[in-house]
Amino acid sequence: MVNRRDDVYGSDFAGRMRFGTEVVRAVRAAVPSDFLVGLRMTGDPLTDDIGLGPDDMLEIARYLDGLGAIDLFDISGGTGATLETQAGTVPPDTFDRGCYLPLARAVKDVVSVPVLCAGRILDAEQAEQALAAGDCDLVAMTRAHMADPDIVTKLTAGELDRVRPCIAINDGCIGRSYQRLTVKCAVNPVLGHDELDRPERATTPRRVVVVGGGPAGMEAARVAASRGHQVSLLEAGTGPRRADHHRAQVTAPAASRQARGLVGQ
C-alpha cells in the first residue's frame, strides 16, 4: 500500500477510494444522462510487491462499478511509479501481443458494464480473436491507427493485406513525446507531415531507377510512382521490375508471427 494517509482520504479502503469516487460522481453530474462516461485504469501496475496488485485492482473495479456512474472500463497495465512501469502503460515490442487481455477478462468478470482492452492489439485478426473469446467487449488500437490512419476503411473493404502494421517500437510516437517533440512513426513517414500525404504530381514525369529494394528503396519508388514518374526498382538477383509489383527479400524470413508482423504478413 502506498496511500498511508489517516484522514478522510486514507485510513481504510473507503477512505482511499474517496477521491476517485468524488471525481467519478462529479463527472457524471456534469454531463447529460446519455453521455457515456468511461474510466481508464490499470489492471496491474506491474510494481510487484510495492503498492497495489491485480487483486487490488479488481476490488477497485468492483467498487467503482457499484457507484452506477461508469458506462465503460478501459483496461491497460503499468503505472507511472517507475520508468519501467511507465513503459508498460504503452507496451513496446518486448511485451507479448495482447499482453493485457487477461487483465481485461478478469475485470469483465467482476463488473456489469462493457470492458475495453488496450495494449499491443495490433491487427484485426488479433482483435477479433479477443472479442470472440470474450476477453473484452471493445479493443483500443491507437498506435495501429497512427501506423495506418486508413485501417478501418481498409478493414471494412476487406483489404487486410493493405494495412500498414504497427511494430510497437515506440520510438517516434512515445519516445519523441517524452522529449516534447513532434510525434512520428517508424512505419508511417507522413504522420505529423500532412503535406507529404498527397505529393504533388510532377510537371515533367521522368524515368526513375531506384537501386536497392530495402524499406528505403521501396518507399522511394512508391513515392516517385505516386508523383507520376515511371519507376524501375532494382534488387540484386531479381532484375528490374515495376515498383508496384516488386516484393523485396524482406518477406523471406517471415516465418514467425513476430516476423510476419514486422513485414505486414
Q: Which of 167, 69, 170, 49 is nearest to 112 (CA)?
A: 69
CA distance 21 to 46: 24
Residue 251 phi/psi, 5-degree rounding, is -75, -20
Which pLDDT score, from 0 to 100, does residue 228 have? Answer: 95
CA distance 42 to 246: 44
Q: Which of 178, 121, 179, 125 is nearest to 147 (CA)?
A: 121
Q: Return the domain boundaries, the chain.
A: 1-140, 199-265
CA distance 49 to 38: 28
Which pLDDT score, from 0 to 100, does residue 248 have? Answer: 43
Burial class, 239, CB count within 10 angstroms (exposed 0-12 / middle 13-18 / buried 19+): exposed
| CATH class, 1-140 region | alpha beta
Which pLDDT score, from 0 to 100, does residue 251 have? Answer: 45
CA distance 188 to 184: 8
Going residue by residue through the chain, which has 265 residues, state the pLDDT in tens, using 9 for 90 and above: 678 899 999 989 999 999 999 999 999 999 999 999 999 999 999 998 788 999 999 999 999 999 999 999 999 999 988 888 988 999 999 999 999 999 999 999 999 999 999 999 988 999 999 999 999 999 999 999 999 999 999 999 999 889 999 999 999 999 998 899 989 999 998 898 877 777 889 999 999 999 998 888 998 999 999 999 999 999 887 555 544 444 544 444 334 544 555 554 4
